[in-house]
Structure 1
C-alpha cells in the first residue's frame, strides 16, 4: 500500500488527481473529504515499462465526455478516458528525426477543448512539440469500438525554432495562441490558426558586471485566461520573468528565486498570483505584478518539483516531482494537507474537477429500478400495516367478549 502523510489541518477536500510517472503508469488518487481522510490510490492504469514513460499530459476537464491526452517516450500519443482509462485513440507523430528518440522527444502536449475546423463529436485535435522544435497539429478521428484504438489522423507540421532545444510550451485559454521556449531559444508566440509567429522575446541586456546570461527557459505559463499577451517564464538561472507582448520584447518584471533552476510555474485564477517550484524542492507563491514573495509553502520537498497545478474550483494546489510524492497544499495557509508516496518519479499531475458531478449522476435505468424498488417496499409496508391493524383489532374484540362474559358471571354471583 502507498505510504501517506497527513498533518494537523482542516482536512483535504474531496478531489481527484491523475499522476504520470517515468514507467508509463497513470495513477488515480482520490480524497473523499470525510473525517480528514488522506487521499488514496484507487486505480492504476497500464503496465510498468520505461519505454512508455509519460513525457507530457493534457486533460479536457468537462462533465460530459472528458478526454485525457498522454505523450509517451516512444513517440506515441494516446487519448484516454479519464473516467476508466480506456484507450479512445492511439497515434504516432510523423517525423523525419524520429520523435521517440532521446534527442527529439515530445516536450509539450495540448488537447483542445473546443471544436476546431473540421472536427466533430467523435474527433479531437491536439498540439505537440518536440525538443527539436517540430510543432504538430493533429486531427484525430476516434474509433467507435474500444478494441480498435487506432483512429484516423491528419497532421500539419511546422518548425518553431531554427536551432537550440525546446523545453517548454503552453497554449492560452482561448486556444488560439501557443508559446515555445527552451535552451538557446527565446520565448516566441505563434498564432495557431495561421501557424505563423506573431512575437518573439529579446534577450535581456548585460548586467552591471557586463555578464550576459545565455537563454535557457525551463517552464512557462500564460498569466490571464482572458489575455494571451501576458505570460510568465522560468529560467535555468533561477529567474522568473513576466512578459507583456503589447509593451516590449524584454521582461517587464524579473526576479530571482533561490539558487536552483526553476522547474515548474503555475498561475492562479486571480490573474496575478503564481506558484513556483525549483530543482531543490522549494515551493512558493509570488505576486507577479510586483515580484513580491507572498510566502513559502511549509514542508520542503526532498526532490526536484516537475509539475504544479491549481485546482479550478478549490483553494488547493498539487505538486509532484522526483521524490515520488504527490502533495496537496492549501493556497491560503500554505500548509501541507496531505502527501501520497507513489513509488516512481513523477513527471506531471492534473486535476479532474468534474468527478463529483459525474458520480452524483445516476443513469435513468438505475433511477427507474430504484423507484420501482421503492414503490414495492412501500406497498409491502402498507400491506404489513393493514395486517397488523386487522390482527390488533381482532385481539381487541376477543378481549371485549371475554370481559363481557366475566361481567355476566360476576352479576350472577352477586344475585
Structure 2
C-alpha cells in the first residue's frame, strides 16, 4: 500500500439529493486543525430533486486519451440522464445522454485515436433498473456530439448494483429476486462469462432469493475476483477461477450493505451499510479487522483514493468523511447541509501526478502475499536457530576445560 501524501490536498466530489455536485478540498498549508477541514470550493449543477445523482464514478482514460481538460466524472441521475463533467470546473465534457428508462449505475471511459489526433472517443455503459445494459458512444469530431447506441443486452431481471473494469471490458452486476444472482459480462462481446450459483439452503431447507445490493471488482485481480454485498447483510468474495460459489461468505453488520470497495492491493474490502457501519474485511484472515467510526446515517457510496492511503464515504447524515486506511482515523470531514447520494475522489491533481511520477521512478516493491508471509516466518525461524547455536558455542568456549589424565603404562 502506498504511503499517504500528507503534503498534498485531498479533493472529493459529493452529490446531494437536491441535484448539486459539491466539490470539497483540504488546504495542507493552513496547518493545525484547519488542514483537516474539507472546505466547499465549488457547487455544480442545478436545483432539481427529480434529477439527483444516484452514482458518481471517475472516467477511465485509455490508450493515450488527452487529459488537457483534467479528470472527468460520470454521474448517473434520476430520470435516465447521464452526465460527463470536468471535475475541476463542473462544466459538461459532452452532451447529456438522455435515456427513456431509469438507470441504477453508469460507467464511462475515453480513448485517444490510434492515429494520434487530438479528438477523443467517449463510451458510456448504462445499467437500467430492469436489468438491461446499454453501451453508447460519442465521437467528438467536427463538433458532432450525438450519442449513438453501439450495443444493448439483457443481463438480469432486476438490476440493483454494478461495477465496470473498463481496461478489460468486464461488467459485474446483480439484482433482486429469483434468478437475479451476480453475473459477469464482457461488454465488448456482450456475452456472459460467469454466473454465480446461489448459496446452499440453510438448516431449515430455505434458500433466500438473491438480493445483490453492492458489487465491486477486486483491485489487481484482472477481474478474476469480485466482492458482493447483499440485503441480508452478507459479504461475499468470489473467485471465478475457484468455484461458482463464494470463497468467503461473511455476516457483516445488521443492515443492508449499500457499498463495497476494494483496497489498492486487493487483499482488503471496505464494507458500508444502511445503518452507518463502515468496516474493513481482511480477505486472507476471513474476518473483519476494524471499523471507521463517526457515521450515524445510511452510507450511500464509498470511494477509494488511487494511492490506496485514503477512503471516503458519504451518506444521509450529510457529512463527507475521509479516513486514513492504515490508522482508520478520520483525517478530513465536512458538513454538506444536505443528504448525500454519491462520492468520488478527484485525485489526479498536478501535485498528485508529480508525486506519482516520482514514486514510479523508484524501485517498486511487490505487495506481500501469503507465500511471502510463510517465507518470512521460515527465515525468521532459521535466524533464531542460528543465534541459539552461536550462544551455545560461546558458552562452551567460556567454560573451563578439564585436563585429561594420562594413563600410566603398566
TM-score by length of 2: 0.76
Matched, 1:108 2:102: no
Q: In the alignment, is the contact (CA less than 8 A) between 1:12 and 1:338 conserved in 2?
A: no
Q: In the alignment, is the contact (CA less than 8 A) between 1:235 and 1:262 conserved in 2?
A: yes
Deviations 1:107-140 (A, max 9, x none): 1111114459999733311111111012111111
Aligned with 1:174 (options 159, 167, 179):
167
Give the aligned partner of residue 357 of structure 1: 351
Q: CA deviation at 1:64?
A: 3.5
Name the CA shift for 1:81/1:186 in 2 (closer, same or farther; >3 Å).
same
Q: CA deviation at 1:181?
A: 0.3
Matched, 1:229 2:234: no
Q: State the alpha-carbon separation in 2 of the partners of residues 349 and 335 from structure 1.
A: 19
Matched, 1:308 2:302: yes
- Structure 2 stretches of 5 or more lacking a match? 62-66, 355-410
Map 1:367-406; keep pairs closer than 5 Å.
none
- Structure 1 stretches of 5 or more lacking a match? 1-9, 100-104, 361-415
Give the aligned partner of residue 90 of structure 1: 95
Q: State the alpha-carbon separation in 1 of the partners of residues 21 and 250 from structure 2.
A: 35
Q: State the alpha-carbon separation in 1 of the partners of residues 209 and 97 from structure 2.
A: 34
Q: In the alignment, is the contact (CA less than 8 A) between 2:276 and 2:298 conserved in 1?
A: yes
Give the aligned partner of residue 49 of structure 1: 48
1:152 match: secondary structure: coil
Q: CA deviation at 1:254?
A: 0.4
Give the aligned partner of residue 40 of structure 1: 39
Map 1:318-329; keep pairs closer than 5 Å.
318-329=312-323
TM-score by length of 1: 0.75
Q: State the alpha-carbon separation in 2 of the partners of residues 243 and 116 from structure 1.
A: 36
Q: State the alpha-carbon separation in 1 of the partners of residues 181 and 88 from structure 2.
A: 38
Q: State the alpha-carbon separation in 2 of the partners of residues 166 and 323 from structure 1.
A: 26
Matched, 1:243 2:242: no
Root-mean-square deviation (Å): 2.5
Q: State the alpha-carbon separation in 2 of the partners of residues 120 and 250 from structure 1.
A: 46
Deviations 1:10-36 (A, max 9, x none): 989521111112221011101121314
Q: In the alignment, is the contact (CA less than 8 A) between 1:305 and 1:319 conserved in 2?
A: yes
Q: State the alpha-carbon separation in 2 of the partners of residues 132 and 272 from structure 1.
A: 33
Q: In the alignment, is the contact (CA less than 8 A) between 1:136 and 1:157 conserved in 2?
A: yes
Give the aligned partner of residue 406 of structure 1: none
Q: CA deviation at 1:197?
A: 0.9
Aligned with 1:24 (options 5, 19, 32):
19
Q: CA deviation at 1:302?
A: 1.4
Q: How many residues are paired up?
A: 337
Instruction: Report which stretch shifted further, 110-119 or 223-232.
Output: 110-119
Q: State the alpha-carbon separation in 1 of the partners of residues 266 and 155 from structure 2.
A: 29
Instruction: Report which stretch shifted further, 325-334 or 207-216.
Output: 207-216
Q: CA deviation at 1:310?
A: 1.1
Name the CA shift for 1:90/1:51 in 2 (closer, same or farther; >3 Å).
farther
Matched, 1:188 2:183: yes
Q: In the alignment, is the contact (CA less than 8 A) between 1:131 and 1:167 conserved in 2?
A: yes
2:204 match: secondary structure: coil
Give the aligned partner of residue 139 of structure 1: 137
Q: CA deviation at 1:143?
A: 7.3
Q: Rg bigger for which structure?
A: 1
